[in-house]
Structure 1
Amino acid sequence: MDFIDSISPTLITIVKVAYFFSMLVIIVLIMQENRSPLKAISWMLVLLLLPGLGIIFYIFFGQNLRKEKIIARKGLKNHDLITAIAHSQSHKLAEGEMNEHPELGTNMRLVQLLLNNSSSIVTIGNRVKVLNNGRQTFDAIIDALKKAEKFIHLEFYIFDLDNIGNQILQILKDKAKAGVEVRFLVDDVGSWELKKDFFEKLKKDGIEAYSFLQVRFPTFTAKVNYRNHRKIVVVDGEIGFVGGLNVADRYIEGSPNYGIWRDMHLQVQGDAVNALQSVFLIDWFFVSQKDIAEQYYFPPKEPIGDKVMQVVASGPDTDWPGIMMGLYQAISLAQKYVYITTPYFMPTESVLLALKAAALGGVDVRILIPEKSDAYFTALCTKSYIKEMIESEVKFYFYQPGFLHSKMLVIDDEICIIGTANMDFRSFEQNFEVNAFIYNQDTAKEVREYFMEDLMESHKVILEQWRKRPLWAKTKESFARLFSPLL
């Protein structure tokens, strides 16, 4: 007993020294990565304010893996071909060889940026249908799945085994039985309830199925913070879907706690489908190690519409935060208005500054967010931005009927951006995301009308009233703001 008593203080001292040394090493690593000062300081606060837990949080959520490249794209036939096309288009655009498309000339700086930072090829002659709610979206997806003859590629962040999930799953099983190739991909964290036996059963039913970036200790422990937030469906290479909806009944029926679950999606036909296909197959390579690039999966297409668009994918596997840079550029180019719908508003400093500069420069900037949120701490953080934005002439609105989950931006009746990326650090810097940048007046006007309809069911935040909120509410929001780069 005397021996134990004598050694305990020594062990405690050793543990304290080891902890202090570990924390010091992590702080040095953070500084050497040359992150933004805001993000670096946020992690240092976590380490200092949460002794012990801070190091665990950093190991799971704090490591910067963009330079490491979670998915090595280089060498993939798919990626290399897309990159070559993007380089060729970038050169042609700079030389004025694509002037037959006035939409490109009007938005040349944005188009050029996305070609160079994301290899987002310009696709011409697309048909785009805006799906303005859950019922429209799932009716369209189910109709397309039922008509599949060759292959189905499906990728979602969340896939719930509820009514709509089981309905889609049964169609996939029936199609696989009929000889259609079915590839099923979900995020391991977003679809955490789908266990190993679920995927094994799908494979017995003839469906190739994987979860993306599995979180299993110690494998991928450091990568738990990098999630695949994409929602893509491609059927026969002829029709594609992308947008904000996951597979869950709440997008149709709403939920008891939040009411309706408002969201927006796109149905696409034309060459843009091949761009969506490329994004899916790069993700598929990561989980399956199969480099699929045969022409069979990229059928040639005649022009089917008049929509010009770029499909932009970004994530920790890309050299640049392409979607964030694209949004920044689009906002900076605005002349008349910028209308944004987002469930979470925690933008990077560059996007924040672009919005303020646009509003102060006379552009009508309106941001629509949900009054009810599915994430308490994130909602607090979002509210911390409102006062400074209104002071910069930005107009804020709270959506009333339920939870607003749409991710949409429309500018000047010229550009419409719809996809999976929220207006926050996580979507811009950590998640695998995909957005459609559409250069078409008709689509932009249609989306603007949907925005105005949602605005009619919202209330505007008045600065004088917002300032009168209780001090404790403002304090909670300011505290949450400290951790915005980490949420």
Structure 2
Amino acid sequence: MTVPGADRRHARHVPWPLSIAGLLVGAVLSGCAGLLHDDKPLASTPVAGEKVEIDSGNGDPVSGAAERRILGALEAESGASSILRHHLRYEQAINRGNPLVLGNRLTLLQDGPATYKAMFEAMEKARDHINLETYIFHDDDIGRRFADILIRKRQQGVIVNVIYDSLGSVGTATEFFQRMQQAGIATVEFNPINPAQLDDDWEINSRNHRKLLVVDGTVAFVGGINISGTYSSSPSGQSIDGYRRRGEPGWRDTHLRIEGPVVAQFQQAFIDHWISQ
């Protein structure tokens, strides 16, 4: 199985200034992936003194001198060199030993309204493909708005692929996803719940909690916000529609908008997960 169009365009290099968040962004994805079933054990503790590897953003490791300058700048910014290096080693171990990547630009999206606004804008600008992965995809105002945009972009010739978790989206009718399929959107249901097919190898707790959106291989979104009206308002009183829904408390969660070379890793993670299903 292949993901149509997903590998037709990769993340371009964007030479943005270095920051701690930009350096660690690759580990955000690996942390989400860790919730997926995986037979490969992770080392519980990185090897003492293990070298922190840093990718320039072009696929090449930085020189030893450059690495020392980068880590020195980060240590000066954080004010705790031993804690920082220990944390970086952990991040690299969680990320399967892949190097940390430079040259990324991050935007912190502090709640659902900010996240949905940024995601809608990115999807509307899509010209090649949209890859969307989520734990919860509800058939409500927010879910239907996502579906409407995805369908419209597919009608415009944009390739659209969607992965949703069977348990997380258990309350969403099959017809909701069939509507997208009929419009030409490719969908994958992660680890379908089917009592008739239960066997010793099936694990109900093998769930996909990843919330990932990649648009045209150049921008990625990842974090804790699902596709549901639950996230449409924030504790501050803001909402995606400009008002707080009566009787519903605002939900607090965080997402990231990412540009730069690390987007290619998010893209590859989506493709690998699609193929595995």
Same fold (TM over 0.5): yes
Q: 1:281 to 1:250 in 2, by over 3 A?
A: same
Is the Cα contact below 8 Å between 1:135 and 1:252 reproduced in 2? Answer: yes
Secondary structure (helix, strand or coil) at the match of 1:99 reads helix
* Residue number among 265, 270, 274 corresponding to 1:275 in the alignment: 265
Give CA deviations for 1:110-157 in whole Å, capped at 9, x if unaligned: 323333443343121111111111111101000000000000010111
Residue in structure 2 matched with residue 110 of structure 1 by the alignment: 87
User: Matches of 1:94 and 1:223 in 2, distance apart?
Assistant: 45
Q: Which runs of 5+ in 2 are unaligned?
A: 1-35, 41-51, 76-80, 234-243
Query: Of residues 251, 254, 261 in structure 2, which corresponds to 1:261?
Result: 251
Contact 2:54 2:102 in 1 (8 A): no
Q: Which residue of 2 aligns with 1:225?
A: 205
Where does residue 128 of structure 2 map in the other structure? 150
CA distance in 1: counterparts of 2:127 and 2:135, whole angstroms: 25
CA drift at 1:101: 1.6
Partner of 2:218: 238
The 5-angstrom pairing of residues 110-259 of structure 1 reads 110-119=87-96, 120-217=98-195, 218-219=197-198, 222-253=202-233, 259=249
Equivalences for residues 409-428 of structure 1 within 5 A? none
- CA shift for structure 1 position 193: 2.5
Task: Report matched runs for 1:424-443 at 5 Å.
Answer: none
Question: Do 1:121 and 1:275's aligned partners in 2 also have CA atoms closer than 8 Å?
Answer: no
The one-letter code sitting in structure 2 at the alignment partner of 1:101 is: I
**Deviation of residue 255 (structure 1)?**
6.7
| Compared CA separation, residues 115 and 104, structure 1 to 2 (3 A) | farther
* 1:211 Cα deviation after fit: 1.0
CA contact (8 A) 1:131 1:264 kept: yes
Q: Which residue of 1 aligns with 2:19?
A: none
Residues 207 and 229 from structure 1, CA distance in 2 versus in 1: closer, same or farther, beyond 3 angstroms? Answer: same
- In terms of mean alpha carbon deviation, does 105-114 or 271-280 score higher? 105-114
Provide the C-alpha distance between the structure 1 equivalents of 2:125 and 2:255, rounded to a whole number of angstroms. Answer: 20
Q: How many residue pairs align between the two structures?
A: 207
Note if contact 1:93-1:112 (Cα within 8 Å) is conserved in structure 2: no
1:135–1:92: structure 2 CA closer, same or farther, 3 Å change rule? closer
The CA distance in 2 between the partners of 1:229 and 1:117, in whole Å, is 17
For the residues of structure 2 that align with 1:213 and 1:272, how far apart are their CA atoms? 27
Distance 2:38 2:252 in 1: 36
Instruction: Give the TM-score, by structure 2 length.
Output: 0.65
Return 5+ residue gaps in structure 1 as ranges: 1-64, 70-85, 288-487
2:70 alignment counterpart: 101
Q: Distance in 2 between matches of 1:225 and 1:88?
A: 34
Alignment of 1:297-316 (within 5 A): none
- Check the 8 A contact 1:159/1:165 in 2, yes or no: yes
Q: Secondary structure at the match of 1:230?
A: coil
Letter in 1 for 2:67: M
Residues in 2 aligned to 1:184 and 1:109: alpha-carbon distance in whole angstroms: 36
Contact 2:101 2:261 in 1 (8 A): yes
Does the residue aligned with 2:114 lie in a helix, a strand or coil? helix
> Do the aligned partners of 2:130 and 2:214 also contact (CA within 8 Å) in 1?
yes
RMSD, aligned α-carbons: 3.0
Provide the C-alpha distance between the structure 2 equivalents of 1:233 and 1:192, rounded to a whole number of angstroms. 21
Q: Secondary structure at the match of 2:103?
A: strand
**Structure 1 residues 281 and 234: CA distance shift in structure 2, 3 A:** same
> Quick check: which one's helix share is greater?
1
* CA deviations over 1:383-423 (Å, ceiling 9, x no partner): xxxxxxxxxxxxxxxxxxxxxxxxxxxxxxxxxxxxxxxxx
State whether residues 126 and 268 of structure 1, in contact with CA within 8 Å, keep that contact through their aligned partners in structure 2.
Answer: yes
Asked if 1 retains the 8 angstrom alpha-carbon contact of 2:54 and 2:67, the reply is no
- 2:155 aligned partner, one-letter code: K
Choose between structure 1 and 2: higher strand proportion: 1
1:217-272 superposed Cα distances (whole Å, 9 cap, x missing partner) = 23467311121011001100111111111111121246777611111111111112
Q: Percent identity?
A: 30
Larger Rg: 1
Does the 8 Å CA contact 1:214/1:220 hold for their aligned counterparts?
Answer: no
Q: Equivalents in 1 of 2:103, 2:38: separation in Å?
A: 36
